[in-house]
Structures are given as C-alpha cells and as structure tokens.
Amino acid sequence: MENKPLAYRMRPRTLDEVIGQEHIIAPTTAFYRMIQQGHVPSMLLYGEPGIGKTSMAYAIAGSAKKHFIALNATTAGKKDIEQVVSEAKMYNGILLFLDEIHRFTKAQQDYLLSHVESGLVTLIGATTENPFHDVNPAIRSRCNQIKQLKPISPSDIITVLKRALKDVERGLGNLSIEIAEEQLERIANGTNGDVRASLNLLEDIVYASEVENDTYHIKDGTIQEFLVNKGFSHDKGGSAHFNVLSGLQKAIRGSDTNGALHYLARLIEAGDLTSICRRLIVIAYEDCGLASDMGYKTYLACEASKAVGFPEARIILANIVIEMCLSAKSNSSYLAIDKALEDVRNGAHYDIPAHLKDSHYGSAKKLGHGIGYIYPHDHPLGSFGGWVNQQYLPDELKDRQYYYPKEAGKEKTLGAIYLKLREMRENK
C-alpha cells in the first residue's frame, strides 16, 4: 500500500465512507438498504472521470462483503474473463467491476453474458459515456440498475482531503503537515471536481514542500506550481462534450448571454474550434432563423476564427455568440422542413404537376410536360419582382401548409409577404 497513490489508498471501504452521491447511497435510499442487506444486482455506473465510479464499486463490494475483481475493458482479454469465471465458480459467485465498459469487445461479451444471466458473475460496469448511447444493448439489458453519478462539490472534496490528512493507516496522518483551510480550498477548486486528482495532488504537494522541525510547510507557490493544467479536462469525443454543446445551443436559444459564454469558454478551453463552428452555424439557422441575418454573419465569423486560430479566435467567437444571444429568434423554417419531411417519409411523394415537369428536351410536349407553365418573371408585382398564381404542390397536397411565419425581427417583414401572397392565391 505504501507505493500506491493516495487516491488508491483512500478508496472508501463501505458505502458509509463514500462522499457525495447522496441521491444514490444516502442511508434513506432503497439502493443503500439493498446493498447493506447483501443484495447486489448487475448495474452500470456512469459519470465524468474522477467522480467516484471505481470507489463506488469498491464500497459496494465492501458493504455487501462480496468477493471482488476489478478489470479495465480496454486491457482485459478473453483469458482475463475466463479467470473471472473460474474464480466465480470457486467462490460460488463473484462481483466483477469492469471499467470503460463501453470498450468491451463482442467476444468478451459473448463469453461473459451467460454467466451474468445465471448470477454467477455480478457485473458492475463503469463508463464516462452515456450508457444509453455507448454501451451495448446486450450488456445494458442485463443490468437492473443504471446510476448516474453527479460531480463532486468542492466542499465534499475538502472533506476527503481532511480525511486523508488525518488517516494514519492509509493517508498522511503519520506526517506533521501545516496546511491552511484556504489552501485546501484551492486544491479542491483546482481539479474540476476530480476527487482522484485532488488526493494525488495533495500528496504531491506535501512531498514537494519544505520540511522544518519534522513538519511539512505547505506554501501557496507550491500549490500554484502543481495546479498548472490541472483545472480543466474535456474529452472531445465523449458524451460530456455533446452535453456542453447542447448547453451552448440552449443558452443561445434562450437568449442567456452569460450562460452561452460559459459553455463557449469550456469548448474554447478544450480547443475544439471545429465543433464550435459547426454548432454555431446550426444554431444560426435553427434558432435565429428567418428572424435575423445571423446565418451569413455566423458563417463569416466562423471562417474568420478558423483563419486566425486560437487564442485570438476566442474574441471573434465571443462577438458572434453575444450577437446571436441578443438577436431575434425564430424556428419556423426548422419546423417547416421537418413537417415537409414527415409528409415525404410517410409516403406523400405524389406525382409532380405536369406543368412543372422538365420540358428541356424535344419530346417533352408529347408527354404534356411544361404545358401551361407560367413564367413568374414575366408578371411584375411592384417592388417584389414577379409572381403568378400557380399550383406548385402535387394535387393531393395542394392545400398543405408547412411554413407558419412568426412575428420576430426580420421575419415580420418576410412573414407579411408570405401571408399576402397566400391571400392572393386563395382569392383568385
């Protein structure tokens, strides 16, 4: 144990030692009572790195007093799974913790699933990804419980750090350490809610500090040196990444400038300019839509951002995000195309009116194609240009309306034109 990192040594031994996650393992929960009575079903735990998925699994095993084996799906082979099954038969049942379960191969699954079904192996899978998206349905269907762990608050992390400072057996309690409450807060706030990183960081800081009269004196400068690049982590391909993008879009849609800037900052810190630009262009047309000119403005801002790159691109992105937040909003075009797509997907792809069919070949007129078509540009309509009352939809859909204008920003003008033309069509 002495050579193990502090975070490993301080893993909770029972559910009562787990910090945070009260929504799952508070003594008043049914889940807690179930585990305390020794009943452990197969389950999935998911959440961000360092928030206690592995610790939760160890604590469940300790509370239920179950024989426990931990593996990582990225490195475990079929022989490892065979060994688990062999031990399970020896102990008449085993609790298997499988980290990164979304990386589990089909061969491993096929071998293990029957043993999970029979109850010989109780599976606790952990993943940083959304299990409903990334975990194989065959595995998911055999897990009775799917629990989402929440980020750990700085105050809870401070509790763990203090516990480690006092614990003589597993922690740093055999050392004399002079550390202020404010310094513990800096460590807790500097690791993005990652308990594992906080504990290991504390140990590094202690052993990097000056010793005087057998006491480790923690200095602010030492903490700052070790905190560099510790505060933010972001997996560009993971579920958390798409949650941040979703937060950005919904904040812009809701005209919340500060919320949008927060999520933009997280994406900028992750360095993912491609995802930012792609999502902003979508937002410009989906949420700002016809009510504003944000479509071309956003495209130009994104192209400018790509041209200059980070860190300067942050300025351009901040400009366009603030303008998008404060611009008029309309989703009418988004709703219109989805309504039209719904018709097409439900079989409403009827024959195109003959006068609209292609007539640019010699025998077209023999088929009746193009006959009766009226060229709108030959019929001026004031400053609008050309317009003629003519049927464009198939006969079966001739009265169908997909677009319903909204009185928002620029769309007030566009919508008024649409309604006027519709009125003229209906009155002729």
**Quick one: pLDDT at residue 2?**
59
Domain ranges in the chain are 21-148, 154-227, 239-326, 339-426
**Quick one: pLDDT at residue 364?**
81
- Is there a common fold for 21-148 and 154-227? no
**Quick one: pLDDT at residue 293?**
93
**Quick one: pLDDT at residue 204?**
94
Q: Report the CATH number of the 239-326 domain.
A: 1.20.272.10
Q: Report the CATH number of the 339-426 domain.
A: 1.10.3710.10
Candidates 183, 153, 150, 143; CA nearest to 165 is 183
Candidates 402, 395, 403, 384; CA nearest to 355 is 395
CATH class as words, domain 21-148: alpha beta
Tens of pLDDT, residue by residue over 139-158, are: 888 888 899 998 888 899 99
CATH fold for the domain made of 154-227:
Helicase, Ruva Protein; domain 3 (1.10.8)
**Quick one: pLDDT at residue 97?**
93
pLDDT one digit per residue (tens) for the chain, 428 residues = 557 899 999 999 999 999 888 999 999 999 999 999 999 999 999 988 778 899 999 999 999 888 899 998 888 887 888 888 899 898 888 999 999 888 887 777 778 888 888 889 999 999 988 888 878 888 888 888 899 998 888 899 999 999 999 999 999 999 999 999 999 999 988 887 788 889 999 999 999 999 999 999 999 999 988 886 554 555 555 567 788 899 999 999 999 999 999 999 999 988 889 889 999 999 999 999 999 999 999 999 999 999 999 999 999 999 999 999 999 999 999 999 999 999 999 998 899 999 999 988 878 888 889 899 999 999 998 888 889 999 999 999 999 999 999 999 999 999 999 999 999 888 86
**Quick one: pLDDT at residue 230?**
56
